[in-house]
Every structure is written in C-alpha cells, then in structure tokens.
Amino acid sequence: MAQAVVTSDEPVLLGEEIVHVRLITLNRPRQLNVISSNMVSLLAENLEKWEKDDKAELVIIKGSGRAFSAGGDLKMFYDGRKSKDSCLEVVYRMYWLCYHIHTYKKTQVALVHGISMGGGASLMVPMKFSVVTEKTVFSTPEASIGFHTDCGFSYMLSHLPGHLGEYLALTGARLNGKELVAAGLATHFVPLERLSDVEKRLISLNSGDANAVKAAIEEFSVKVQPDEESVLNKQSIIDECFSKDTVAEIINSFEAEAKKEGNGWIGPVLKGLKRSSPTGLRITLRSIREGRKQTLAESLKKEFRLTINFLRSTISEDVYEGIRALTIDKDNAPKWNPPTLDKVDDEKIDLVFEPFTEDLELKIEEKEELRWDGKYENSDYASLN
C-alpha cells in the first residue's frame, strides 16, 4: 500500500475525549490536511470506537491551519502508479468510511474554514451540522485532473436542485460559505472570528442532543444569502445546459448561452470545462446521472470500481497525467489520451462501470447489527496482498 510521506513527528490526526465530546483535528496543515492512508485509518478507528461508547455523544471535526481539507493525497496516488493496486487499501478504507460518516449514530459537527475540496468535503457535507465561514471554499474538481467525482459525491451532488450537481461535478466550480448554506451543502454560516467560540460553546454544552447543538450553533450563526452574481442565481441556465444527454451537447449548449448578453460569467467556466479530461468528463457525467437513481451504498460501490479502474489505467492514464500537470511538473498542460470527447470509446466507458465479482466489491453492511463489518482487513483484497 502506498504510504504518504510525513515529514514531521506530529500525528496526522488528533483525537481528544472531553467528557461527552469527541474532537477530531485533521493535522497536516502544511499539506492543507490532505487525506493520507494513516488519516483514514485513524478516522475510522476513532469513529467506530466513539459510536459504540455510551459516554461519547457529540463528535466535532475541524482542520488545523488555513484549510479544512484539500482532499485526497494526489502525490500518494502518483507515486504508486507503477505498482498495481498500491493505493487500493486506502481507497477501500476511505469509501467504506464515507458510508459510516453518512450513517453515523452520534451527532456530528464539522467546523469548516478554508479549503474543503473533493474527498475533504466528504468530511463536511454529510454531517448533521456543518458550519462554514466567509473563508470556506468548496469544489469537486476531479474531472479537471482526469478523475471522477467520488467519496459519495456522485450521490450527494446528484440530489441537488435541478442539474446543479452536473454543473459542479463537470466544471469543478467553487462555492463559498454563503452558497454552501443556500445549496444545502452546509447548515450554518458563522463569521470566521466566531468559529472558535462555536467550538468552545459546543464543548461546554457537553451534549449530543441535536436540538441543543443546533441552538448552540445558532447563538453565533447569521442568516446569509448568495451574492447577486452567484451561480446559484443562474439555475435556469444551468438546468437548460446541464440537462443535455452528453458532455458534448452540454458544452455546445453552454457555448450558445455564453454568447447572450449578461452571460460573461460563462466564459471562464467554459474554458476550464474544455481543458478537462474528456474521459474524466464522460465518466463523471454518467456517474452523477446514475447516482440520482442509486442508494448511497450503491453509489459508493460504483465509485470504488471506477477509482480502481482509473488507478489501474484500465482505459486511460489521464488521472496520472492530470496529477503530473497540476502537482508534479506544475506545467498545467496535460496531454489527455484520448484528446477529444469524440475519440472516447463508449465501450471503454461501459467497461469501467462493470461490476466486479462479488468477492471484490466494496463491502458495505446496511444491517444495523453488522454495520461495522466489511473492513478492508476482512476483505478478499487483504488476503491477496
């Protein structure tokens, strides 16, 4: 299994137990709290322990430094590209963890400042309460690096109003704190200067009673509306364009809208969309559309298959080329293969969505008494390595 390089003796995750409160701090500030294999294991271990602990009532999660979490550790994936399935374990553990975060039995609060992107946002959006600030920045930019929208977001984004989910997944567009609350991806907006006060108040509350936690947060939260120019106020255009059947039709429709007066905002978004991986875009659109009809567990199992196929370069090496261009060589000039949407083979797209044999699927136990079963170490993958 590929391991992230940790250059300090500091633990990547801090877990504190304060009477009935449990506080998690993502602790890789210099790396914007990107999610390493060790961090995933520690998160799962703590959350299982606390869900089963009658003394634990409230779980708070926050990031150290200037970010909540910038998502998965891309360098870890890139460094593992030559060794088959070197990152399979961390992917399995992360998606398995995503299900348990969504279905957690204790009250959870995410305190989110700074960047909250991709897999990092999967530690924010599903929480009972997610508190954002004027410095919070959310996006799911995976398609732009030749990947797909994962960590449960093919399910979460597909359930947003209209076709906003397709728009966010395909363009990687950013939302700020006010927009997150308006879109239902966060529950409360608190000015950054008061965020530490929320944490102190929740610790002093010392209770997981959801109504009491909500009232405590609302002592500091303010009512907000998206700015006039927010993309959330362009829903009719988004629905018109991003409801189209194919990525090519979406781009053509978006180009037509861009020519209309008052639609100058579309130009930069369109430019980014056209620069993204054709394979990543095709797979992302289909995954979001399927997510609308799937359960959370079905979506996570599908995302697991897709990710393993991406990392195995089953039909394309675009994800490694995207990571190279963004974070390794930093030339921002990826050479996609195939280079255009019309060259992406339909049969190859079908291939990466094909179910694995049952023994190699992500194991998610939906029965209450078995919900913490299905761990990686008990899977067939563990015995294969």
pLDDT at residue 29 is higher than 70: yes
Is 73 noted as a catalytic residue in this protein? Answer: no
Q: Which of 57, 142, 303, 318 is catalytic?
A: 142
- The residue written with tokens 């015995």 in the block is 383
Number of residues that make up the chain: 385
pLDDT at res. 68:
98
Q: What is the pLDDT of residue 35?
A: 97
- AA identity, residue 269: V
Of residues 109, 242, 218, 104, the one with CA closest to residue 164:
242
Which tens digit of pLDDT belongs to each residue from 308-330? 999 999 999 999 999 999 999 99
- For residues 145 and 32, what is the distance between their CA atoms, to the nearest angstrom? 18
Residues in a beta bridge with 109: 60, 129
pLDDT reported for residue 5: 40
> Packing angle between helix 195-205 and helix 210-218, nearest 10 degrees?
150
Rounded Cα–Cα distance for residues 158 and 171 (Å): 14
Q: Which two tokens stand for residue 47?
A: 């959350």
Question: How many other C-beta atoms are found inside a 10 Å radius of the C-beta of residue 265?
Answer: 14
Question: Among residues 200, 79, 57, 62, which one has the least CA distance to residue 130?
Answer: 62
**DSSP state letter for 357:** P
Q: What is the pLDDT of residue 258?
A: 98
| pLDDT tens-place string over residues 155-178 | 999 999 999 999 999 999 999 999
CA dihedral 63, 67, 69, 71 (to 10 degrees): -170
pTM score, whole prediction? 0.96
| pLDDT, tens digit, 9 for 90 and up, residues 144-159 | 999 999 999 999 999 9
**Which pLDDT tens digit goes with each residue over 249-276?**
999 999 999 999 999 999 999 999 999 9
Name 200's Cβ contacts closer than 8 Å, sequence gap at least 6.
none
Q: Is the dihedral of CA 315, 316, 320, 323 positive or negative?
A: negative
Residue with tokens 């294999």: 37
CA angle 287–289–294, rounded 5-degree value: 80
Catalytic annotation present for 72 = yes
pLDDT tens digits, 210-236: 999 999 999 999 999 999 999 999 999
Query: Would the pLDDT of 372 be above 80?
Result: yes
Per-residue confidence band for 89, with pLDDT thresholds at 50, 70 and 90: very high
Q: Is position 17 annotated as part of the catalytic site?
A: no
Reduced to 3 states, what is the DSSP secondary structure of residue 309? helix
Q: What's the rounded mean pLDDT across residues 17-28?
A: 98
Q: Which of 15, 119, 172, 322 is catalytic?
A: 119
Options 57, 150, 303, 321, the catalytic residue: 150
* Residue 23: predicted pLDDT: 98
Among this protein's residues, is 290 annotated catalytic? no
pLDDT digits (tens, 9 = 90+) for 177-196: 999 999 999 999 999 999 99
Report residue 278's pLDDT band, with 50, 70 and 90 as the boundaries: very high
pLDDT at 10: 85
pLDDT class for 8, splitting at 50, 70, 90? low
pLDDT-derived band at 1, boundaries 50, 70, 90: very low
pLDDT of 3 higher than 50: no
Say how far apart CA 194 and CA 221 lie, in whole Å: 9
Average pLDDT for the chain: 96
Q: Find, among 236, 336, 239, the residue nearest to 281 by Cα.
A: 336
Q: Would you call 236 exposed, middle or buried from its count of C-beta atoms within 10 A (0-12, 13-18, 19+)?
A: exposed
Q: What's the Rg (C-alpha) of the chain? A: 20
Percent of the chain at pLDDT exceeding 90: 96
Residue 44 tokens read as 């799962």
Q: Give me the residue label for tokens 């709290």.
A: 33
Q: What is the pLDDT of residue 165?
A: 98
pLDDT(301) > 90: yes
